[in-house]
Structure 1
Amino acid sequence: MLRRVFLAGMAALALGATAAQAEMPKEINFGIISTESTQNLKTQWEPFLADMEKSTGMKVNAFYATDYAGVIEAMRFNKVQVAWYGNASAIQAVDRANGEVFAQKIYADGSRGYYSILIANTASTIKSLQDVINQPGKLTLGNGDPNSTSGYLMPGYYAFAKNNIDVRTFFVSSVSANHGTNLMAVANRQVDIATNNTEDLAKFQTANPDKAKLIREIWRSPLIPSDPLVWRTDLDPQAKEKLKAFLFAYGQPGPDQVHQKQVLDALGEWGGFVASSNDQLLPVRQVSLFKDRIKIDQDANLSESDKKQQLAAIDAQLDELSKKMAEVKTQ
């Protein structure tokens, strides 16, 4: 009799422990990178996060920061459990903040990428990247956040580094700002050129059509994978399943499709979400390493032996990335 009571008690304790382990969090914090003013981001994101809250049963708190690093650090210290990033900032979240890419937004036309661009005012004589290259020491630059893929990393490599432009010395001045600020700075002729991307330019054209008419695209990058969503790897498994179910159904045929499409349009003519992984970051990692390689190769303060050693280390990393990218393509 005592044995049966003991075993029943142990079973009840085990069930209680399992239930406690499986209990979903009552709320999560969702990080949103600073691509423009917080007020604008709130207007765009709050309807979406309200739908997420309703679907998952978890309270969803928006987390805004003044720069990309603020969201990365918040995820690192578990103040943010899920976040929307650009690819460059997602690399930091994966490498430093226990993050994992699990989804990727797609556009309304079904495409899975966008482009980094350089812009100038339509009244400017600057009509191409070559016009920039021809004017060392004469122009001002509105650069992006250092953790921005489209505002910093892609133009930094493809437009500047590949054309032997050292941003620190080539331009009269270079000021970092978010995409919205840089668009307005070019429209108002406060800078000669600025970095940006096709997605934010499209939103700007809708919100500020008169100002948008004053902006000219002068350069476009190769395709950038569309923005990833990242969660902490230690997020509760049930919460992960709830988030995936919500995201992958959002904007798809159903009773709420009209409303959901309106919400996605406000986010930048998004079309919904598809599954993704850390592999989508590989091309951006490669660009980042190439940029580091050029910087080391041009560093006159490094001894030849130190330079050779550092370049060899980067070349080894690039080889590994190339192999990994080839593997992904064959899958």
Structure 2
Amino acid sequence: MALDTSWLHRLRNYRRLMRMVSRGLLLGLLLAGSASASGQPADTVSTIRFGILPIGSASESLEQWRGLLEELQKRLGHPVTTVSVGSYAGLSDAIGAQQVDIAFLSGKLAVQAVVHQHMHVFAQFVRSDGAVGNVAMLVVRNDSPIHNLAGLLATPGRWRYARSEHLSVTGYTAPEADVFAPRGLNSDTFFASVRVADHQGNLLSVVNREVDVASSNNPDMDLFRRRFPSEAAQLRVIWRSPLIPSGVLVLRDGLPPPLREQLTAFILAYGRAAGEAGVRERAQLARIPDLGGFVAQTNHVLQPFVDMQYALLRQEAEHGQWVSPQALQARLAQIESDHRRDTRALLGH
């Protein structure tokens, strides 16, 4: 099906935006004025630095969260800045540099933050339908000769693939762990070519016939349908993962306890108020794709991601080529050790 002029215009605008945001962090966007505007001396105000994992582009994600964060700033009396990024790695780097106090993260990124970067989980997303999980997907065009997963896997080296970066659970780890690795395959060598971009850009690439198949997830598919309804109608899902736990909110361990308690209370209560306040809060939540609210959670919710990564690494090692049996055993021992370390870190917090 030929693309009309309006579609091409939107595609060019979207890609121009993605090139801008992919250059790095958009740091320190102050939501509502300077420190002195809060009524406290600048040197006594604790600025809350909120990290946002992008759904769509970094600028879109920032706009989706803006209303909630403005209310957070007003309620707590602290300036709120955002750390909005064009990549998972960019947000991880900011957390590792202690530039983030509270953040919305997907599972694998949250494991890294908890195990290595002095953060802890305090809340989990609840979808608007009440579910506390998402589904990874592999997506093709409606008119693709790939009719199902078996058809995809039947011809190695033929298809072009678009996926997310390695820190993405639904965009990389889940398809790799559930589809490719159990069959002794690696997506980087199975496909004729592999491009790495965000979920929205990858879906656009499928529609535009630049790739044959892309990884995605249900929140990004829903967002794509709202943004490009006619183009979304040209897509077909050929594989869905089991339910994967939803994204989480994490806090920096070094935050002062009173501020940590205030942040926790605000987030967990948000959207639950009665009357006009509740209507307003739920309208702000609805701006964030598929978000219905938050529930209290701990680091234990991340165990499925640790186990998924463990299974993937074992499968890759067992199907790999090694210079000796001893080299394989050394790699398996390291995988076991890392799994025990990560599990202890989650259970011990």
Q: Match for 2:125: what amino acid? A: K
Alignment of 1:60-79 (within 5 A): 60-79=80-99
1:246 equivalent among 259, 266, 274: 266
In structure 2, distance between residues paired with 1:246 and 1:144: 32
- Matched-pair contact (CA < 8 Å) for 1:88–1:284: yes
Aligned to 1:121: 141
Asked if residue 30 in structure 1 is aligned to residue 57 in structure 2, the reply is: no
> Cα deviations across residues 52-96 of structure 1 (Å, max 9, x unaligned)?
212222211111122112111211221111111100111111122
Which of 308, 318, 321 is residue 300 of structure 1 equivalent to? Answer: 321
TM-score normalised over the length of structure 2: 0.82
- Counterpart residue type for residue 228 of structure 2: N
Task: Report if the CA contact (8 A) 2:52-2:62 is conserved.
Answer: no
What is the Cα deviation at residue 25 of structure 1?
5.1
Choose the corresponding residue for 2:66, options 46, 61, 80: 46
Q: Match for 1:270: what amino acid? A: L
- Superposition RMSD on alpha carbons, in Å? 2.3
- Alignment deviations for residues 264-316 of structure 1 (CA, whole Å, 9 cap, x no partner): 11101211001111111111111111111122222313421121232244346
1:192 to 212, 226, 238: 212
Unaligned 5+ segments in structure 2 are: 1-42
Give the conservation status (yes or no) of the 8 Å contact 2:184–2:319: no
* Corresponding residue of 1:150: 170
Helix, strand or coil at the partner of 2:262: helix
Counterpart among 143, 150, 163 of residue 183 in structure 2: 163
Contact kept? 2:207, 2:235, Cα under 8 Å: yes
Query: What does residue 312 of structure 2 align with?
Result: 291
Verify the 8 A CA contact 1:182 1:195 in the aligned structure 2: yes
User: Partner of 2:268: helix, strand, or coil?
Assistant: helix
Please list the CA deviations of residues 85-136 of structure 1 after superposition, one character each: whole Å capped at 9, or x if unmatched.
Answer: 1001111111221111111010112111110111111111212211110121
Q: Deviations over 1:142-195 (max 9, x none)?
A: 011211111111111112112222112110111111111111111222110001
SS state of the match for residue 93, structure 1?
Answer: helix
Structure 1 248/122 Cα, relative in aligned 2: closer, same or farther at 3 Å?
Answer: same
Equivalences for residues 254-265 of structure 1 within 5 A = 254=274, 255-265=276-286
Identity fraction in percent: 32
Tell which structure's C-alpha radius of gyration is larger. Answer: 1
- Secondary structure at the residue paired with 2:185? coil
Distance in structure 2 (CA, Å) of the matches to 1:111 and 1:87? 16
How far is the alpha carbon of 1:234 from its aligned partner?
Answer: 0.9
What SS is found at the alignment partner of 1:126?
A: coil
Deviation at 1:318, TM superposition (A): 5.5
* Structure 1 moving runs of 4+ over 4 Å: 315-325
Q: Is the 8 A contact 1:73 1:97 kept in 2?
A: no
What SS does structure 2 have at the residue aligned with 1:256?
Answer: helix
Which TM-score applies when normalising by structure 1? 0.86
Secondary structure, counterpart of 2:273 in structure 1: coil
Cα distance, 1:162–1:77 mapped onto 2, change above 3 Å: same
